[in-house]
């Protein structure tokens, strides 16, 4: 992924209260590590846990009407603004769209989704015939991946 590619960290799902705070659905572990979103259009003043996500205040949002007008707005940063990854770590944005291949290099499909049902990430692969299957994102199922390809271990793509 190019370093200047926008990566969505949260989406505004509505207003909270009357003073301009917004409710967020958050896709990151720590949203407070960033202060500027959407190329500097929104400046984060504060963020705290909410009932189904987080509650945030932005410097540019003064009242409920302005907050409500932002419903559906994705909060993005560029890929190079994200913290570096440790060994075996990945950003979902880096995996989406990767080609999936077998251990022998045969094309299987494309990674189209990533879910987490509580026990770790599960990736969804779409085959060329549009059928889909899911595989846990664990070393025994996905032994290797890089910037272009994801290898699915034998026995996991049947």
Q: To which H or E segment does residue 66 belong?
A: helix 64-69
Look up the pTM and report it: 0.75
| Cβ contacts of 152-155, under 8 Å, gap ≥ 24 | 152/100, 152/101, 152/102, 152/103, 152/108, 152/125, 153/103, 154/102, 154/103
158 has pLDDT over 80: no
89 vs 98: which has the higher pLDDT: 98
pLDDT for the residue 93? 86
Q: What is the pLDDT of residue 4?
A: 79
- For residue 150, pLDDT over 90 is answered with yes
Q: Is the pLDDT of residue 128 over 70?
A: yes
Residue 65, C-beta contacts closer than 8 angstroms, at least 6 positions apart: none
């Amino acid at each position: 992924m190019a370093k200047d590619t926008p990566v969505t960290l949260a989406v505004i799902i509505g207003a909270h209260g009357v003073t301009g705070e917004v409710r967020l659905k958050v896709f990151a572990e720590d949203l407070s590590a960033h202060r500027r979103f959407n190329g500097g259009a929104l400046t984060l003043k504060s963020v705290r846990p909410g009932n189904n996500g987080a509650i945030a205040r932005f410097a540019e949002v003064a009242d409920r009407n302005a907050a409500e007008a932002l419903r559906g707005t994705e909060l993005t940063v560029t890929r190079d603004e994200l913290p570096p990854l440790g060994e075996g770590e990945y950003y979902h944005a880096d995996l989406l769209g990767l080609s999936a291949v077998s251990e022998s290099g045969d094309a299987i499909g494309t990674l189209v989704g990533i879910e987490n049902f509580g026990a770790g990430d599960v990736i969804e692969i779409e085959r060329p015939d549009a059928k889909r299957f899911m595989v846990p994102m664990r070393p025994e199922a996905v032994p290797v991946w890089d910037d272009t390809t994801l290898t699915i271990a034998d026995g996991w793509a049947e």
